[in-house]
Structure 1
Amino acid sequence: MAAALLADALRRRGLQRSVLIDSAGTHASQPGHPADGRARQVCARERISLSRSRARQVTEADFNRFDYILAADTSCLDWLRASAPPACRAGLSLLGDWAEDGTVGDIPDPYYGSLAGFEDVLVLLRRALDGFLPQLAQRIAQTSRGG
């Protein structure tokens, strides 16, 4: 959900072609499978498609392919830090820490809950991404200027 929400926010700002966005988990129990139907339903209400989203696990290449890897919760962030190669290019951080009011923290995995859990996570993701977007936009601007 986070990757699709970020892609949508960048599209609305005309920045979608400046960034490679992907989604991966620290553990992918069903690699290649589409997003959970409840996630698709919640995002569809926002006119955001998850039709291209497929489950996959973070790979070693991801640590040098991306500038940022944002973890949903502390246990995922710990896993990423332990798995990152020594010369990791990507900045690793907790997505919820980007929220402007600083109150998001860990974003729960709604998989074992109800549709309402996915709705709640959507709200948390939006708050966190709203805080992350200015940093990303600044990075895009610096890169486009050659800095």
Structure 2
Amino acid sequence: MIKVLFVCTGNICRSPTADGVFRDMVDKAGLSAHIDVDSCGLSAYHVGEQADPRSREMARSRGYDLSMIRSRKINPTDYGNFDYILAMDDGHLADMHRQSPAEFRDKIELFLDHHPDRKGQSVPDPYYGGANGFANVFDMIEEASNVLLTCIRDKHGI
């Protein structure tokens, strides 16, 4: 089983969006038995909460369901348990590199490094913006998720 973890600040906007989008792509590709998807936040501000209502609404409008996702804080064991640990922004990337045991740091990468045009960039936090911010984030996440799934399939032969 290949395990993929998406990480943002509070696990209510960016990472649950990536979780829901990528999980849907994995399901539609018939790979749910091979790829496990999860998300978490670096903070515990929203533990147990659903994704932001604006994220859920944007997801619904695009055919995704985030209703089952609940915020959780990253656990030290996640660094060893997941094969791909994807930071939504460069701040998350730096924090996880500091927190992670050295032997797991090579698993941590910037999610948009899988985007065809946004390598090295951060997924902007839509929390304080308007609806367009959420739409833009969904566009980025969908595009990067397609590339990520292709990379995983190619690397693991599935």
Unaligned runs of 5+ in 2: 1-16
Distance 2:112 2:80 in 1: 22
1:114 CA drift (Å):
1.5
State percent identity of aligned pairs.
30
State the partner residue of 2:46: 30
Higher relative contact order, chain-length normalized (CA < 8 Å, sep 6+): 2
1:28 CA drift (Å):
3.0
Deviations 1:121-141 (A, max 9, x none): 000111211221111112442
Decide which structure has greater strand share. 2
Helix, strand or coil: the match of 1:130? helix
Instruction: Report the more deviating stretch, 97-106 or 41-50.
Output: 97-106
Picking from 60, 69, 81, the partner of 2:76 is 60
Picking from 131, 148, 157, the partner of 1:115 is 131
Picking from 34, 47, 58, the partner of 2:63 is 47
Do 2:110 and 2:120's aligned partners in 1 also have CA atoms closer than 8 Å? no
TM-score normalized with structure 1 length: 0.89
- Judged with a 3 Å threshold, the aligned counterparts in structure 2 of structure 1 residues 19 and 90 are, in CA distance, closer, same or farther, namely farther
State the partner residue of 1:132: 148
Superposed, which structure 2 residues align to 1:50-89 within 5 Å?
50-88=66-104
Do 2:97 and 2:105's aligned partners in 1 also have CA atoms closer than 8 Å? no
Do 1:26 and 1:76's aligned partners in 2 also have CA atoms closer than 8 Å? yes
Picking from 110, 116, 124, the partner of 1:100 is 116
Q: Which runs of 4+ in 1 moved over 3 A?
A: none
1:89 CA drift (Å):
7.3
- Judged with a 3 Å threshold, the aligned counterparts in structure 2 of structure 1 residues 46 and 90 are, in CA distance, closer, same or farther, namely farther
1:115 CA drift (Å):
1.9
For 1:99, the aligned partner's letter is: H
Distance 2:113 2:90 in 1: 10
1:73 CA drift (Å):
0.5
TM-score normalized with structure 2 length: 0.83
Distance 1:104 1:127 in 2: 15
Deviations 1:66-112 (A, max 9, x none): 10000000000001111101332761100111112345711011111
Instruction: Report the more deviating stretch, 31-40 or 122-131.
Output: 122-131
Larger Rg: 1
- Judged with a 3 Å threshold, the aligned counterparts in structure 2 of structure 1 residues 90 and 6 are, in CA distance, closer, same or farther, namely farther
